[in-house]
A and B are shown apart, each in its own frame.
Chain A
Amino acid sequence: MESPQNIKKRLKSVSNINKITKAMEMVAATKMRKSQEIALASRPYAFAALDFLATISSLDSAKLPELFTKREIKKVLFVLVSSDKGLAGAFNSSVFRKFERHQKIEKEEWKNEEQVYLAVGEKAFNYLTKKNYNVVKKFVSVGDYTTTQQVGPIVDFIVEGYMNESWDRVVVISTHFRSALKQEPHVRRILPIDFDHIADTVKEIIPERGKFADLIKEHNINFVPNKASTTDYLIEPSPQEVLNKLAKHLFFIQVYHLILEANASEHSARRMAMKTASDNANELGNALNLQYNKSRQSKITTEISEISAGAEALS
């Protein structure tokens, strides 16, 4: 049997691990809640913006801006959204797995299209470079809760590339936050812009279960533009210009939401991973404790029998 000192040492390190993982679990849980709140706070804004778009695009004089129009697809940009740091369970690998599966399924259809990649998060960059994919750029530290300042450069980069035809379609693979216990990787086309796609992203920001789930009923916006009521709008400076500005803005909102959702998922995946880790540490600690007590007891028993044997020999 192992010596009690050795077991004691192991016991101590296990309990230290337990403390650390427990602390990380708490931190991740708070961060998850906060990133969910941030995502939800931007919803009225997003709905108003969609409503705007519906109003303006129903005007006859407005032509849909370039971000909306479909063109022949020669090059596709894939955006992989992952975390910067590990210790988040299957969060990153599930995104990559989804990506691989998606590649395999659509291989036939896409064999004439060139593919380029954009990495959001350190892990995605590592993955893509390891697989020898053509990574055009990486963006890191969109971390805990993303801000508009952090999303701005990503959006500008994608839009600029789209405008000068570096790519004709943009697909994002990111994690959809279904509830605190369930996250799913999703593949979404974000460019060319599609009304319904944006509406879906904005609606999906509400988790299916949990604290914020009941918000789902309150908003039921209809995105079918109403022709009759919009004819007498005065539009400054011109419908075209407003629409162009709005299109880019909506695209920004969509990317912002996708990344926020990925943030929330990351934190909740990390929370789950840390919970499992501390449960395991607990279990291991109990087993070691039992072992320690047993070895201590057996040592005492041997000592007692030695003493009593010595006493018997004397008498």
Chain B
Amino acid sequence: MKLSIYSLKNILFQGEASSFNCQTIMGEITVLDHHEALISVLSAGVIKLIDKDKKEQFFPINSGFLEVKPDNEVRCIVEQ
């Protein structure tokens, strides 16, 4: 899926990813390919994602918003 993570200071990640794990205020979720369309609020925690080279990347965040679009695109804005 196409994933982009923006913060106020820079673009944290942009590109293909196979898995995206984060804490929302409803609990921890993992977004995989072709996830249902979703909008949620992120809470403080660590975002863990697996990019197309099967490498794990971690970003600590304070808060943020997550949007999963119907066309296999995930966008998220975070505050660090």
Contact = CB atoms under 8 A, between A and B. Distances in A.
Interface of A: 38, 41-42, 44-45, 48-49, 51-52, 55-56, 148, 229, 232-237, 241-242, 245-246, 249, 253, 256
Contacts of B9: 38, 41-42
A234 B6 contact: no
B75 A48 contact: yes
A246 B8 CA distance: 15
B39 A56 contact: yes
Nearest to B35: A234
B38 A234 contact: yes
Given A42-B8, A45-B77, A246 B24 contact: no
Please classify the interface of chain B as helix (H, G, I), strand (E, B), loop, or mixed, using the class held by over half of its residues: strand
Interface of B: 4, 6-11, 24-26, 36-41, 65, 67, 70, 75, 77, 79
A256 B8 contact: yes
Nearest to A59: B39
Nearest to A44: B6
B70 A232 contact: yes
Contacts of B25: 236-237
Given A232-B70, A242-B65, A52 B39 contact: yes
Contacts, number: 65
B46 to A, nearest CB: 19
A75 B65 CA distance: 33
Given A52-B67, A236-B39, 15 more contacts: A38-B9, A48-B77, A52-B39, A52-B65, A229-B70, A233-B37, A234-B36, A234-B38, A235-B38, A235-B39, A235-B40, A237-B25, A237-B41, A241-B41, A249-B65
B80 to A, nearest CB: 9
Contacts of A41: 8-11
Contacts of A233: 37-39
Contacts of A38: 9
25 contacts: A41-B8, A41-B9, A42-B8, A44-B6, A45-B6, A45-B8, A45-B77, A48-B6, A48-B75, A49-B65, A52-B65, A52-B67, A52-B77, A55-B39, A56-B39, A233-B38, A234-B37, A234-B38, A234-B39, A235-B39, A236-B24, A236-B25, A241-B41, A242-B41, A246-B65
